Chains A and B, each alone.
Chain A
């Protein structure tokens, strides 16, 4: 059954400092008044334009085993194919920041207001990630303590983006207003989908020596896995 997630604006709103950091400005760097002014303007725009929505649907391991191969374009070997069969529970999710903020970002770039466009883009990305975290937290709240919970998304770690077709087919009519393009890309742009995997913390552990790992500049997966493993030791 698909559950509509009630996501409050305040729950996903980043602060100006986070928006600046998201744009690649390190914490130690001086923040000029101009820069702070742009980040605060982006924050005001976010308050006005974010229309968060989301859905969550529990899925069985056998059902997800049918969904995961997607259109057959996944990498030959992926970490998730070794993780989800050992899950205790799984849930599919899709969350979005809504179309108005995406339209506003496009308009700002079109009108050459690059600083505000980029700051709003950064803020909306943070908000979308936070909405995905809320979906994960809501699912985790239904689980026993110390269950290891992590989410995985099409487009990453060898799960081809075309996997979204079957993922959204499972979600049915309730898709939080998200549609897919012919290339299986989500609209509105600032949306996140994927599977939330819950089980023993150690099921999430994998060695990052897959072919796509060498090409991946972000190593956030290491921190996420470690955080889940730490949970079991607490």
Chain B
């Protein structure tokens, strides 16, 4: 549909005003919220994500699109609620205890929200028990952890171990990231996934939520 194509294109170009206007138009025309979300907004963000992956665009461009996405979502959110459109899933996010670097974690949150996930952002300096408590309280099946300091990376293992101790391994999945964090480190500590950046975090969380609870990945 032409309107949705233009909406996705506006998102790709990071045009906040255009996205807001076209979203409002789609709503006014009576288009179902889920269609506007999936075929307009998320479709546009997927294009941006692919361009980011292939280094055609870089982070600031993605953020322009994310701001446009937010403008569209602001208009769409009331309809998603009244039309009972479920979110793509819930994820708890935070920077681990002893670390207050939050830009990477914020970007992951923005990307996840842009992909239709409900994000519970615990902020920075988050203790292992807080991650677990938030995941339980909100019924989130994914915990995302960020660290910028090599000295705080071990806290990620504490969270993984805590989940194991509570019998929640496989039921609540973990994804980790941050400048010093690597795929190998994720494997070593038993995390379910490693995400290099906000875009790959979206891919990983989608995979984790699609996996059978309890199944080893």
> Residues of A at under 8 Å CB distance from B?
20, 23-26, 29, 32, 34-35, 38-39, 73, 75, 109, 112-115, 117-119, 121, 154-162, 181, 183-186, 189, 212, 215-218
Chain A residue contacts of B70, Cβ below 8 A: 112, 114
Chain B residue contacts of A117, Cβ below 8 A: 106
| Contact assessment for B149 and A24 in the assembled complex, using a CB-CB cutoff below 8 Å | no
Chain B residue contacts of A38, Cβ below 8 A: 60, 64
Chain B residue contacts of A35, Cβ below 8 A: 60-61, 64
Interface size class of B (residues with CB under 8 A): 20 to 34
Chain A residue contacts of B102, Cβ below 8 A: 189
Main secondary structure of the interface of A (DSSP, over half): loop
Which residue of chain B has its CB nearest to the CB of A213? B150
Chain B residue contacts of A32, Cβ below 8 A: 61
Question: Which 3 residue pairs across A and B have the least CB separation, nearest first?
Answer: A112-B70, A212-B150, A114-B63
Chain B residue contacts of A115, Cβ below 8 A: 14, 60, 63-64, 67
Residue in B60, B71, B97, B185 whose CB lies within 8 Å of A118: B60
| Contact assessment for A25 and B97 in the assembled complex, using a CB-CB cutoff below 8 Å | no
13 cross-chain CB contacts under 8 A: A32-B61, A34-B61, A118-B60, A121-B103, A155-B152, A156-B149, A156-B150, A161-B151, A161-B152, A212-B180, A215-B153, A215-B182, A217-B181
CA distance A121 to B100 in the complex (A): 13
Chain A residue contacts of B61, Cβ below 8 A: 32, 34-35
Q: Does B159 contact A (CB under 8 A)?
A: no
CA distance A115 to B103 in the complex (A): 12
CA distance A30 to B93 in the complex (A): 33
CA distance A113 to B70 in the complex (A): 9
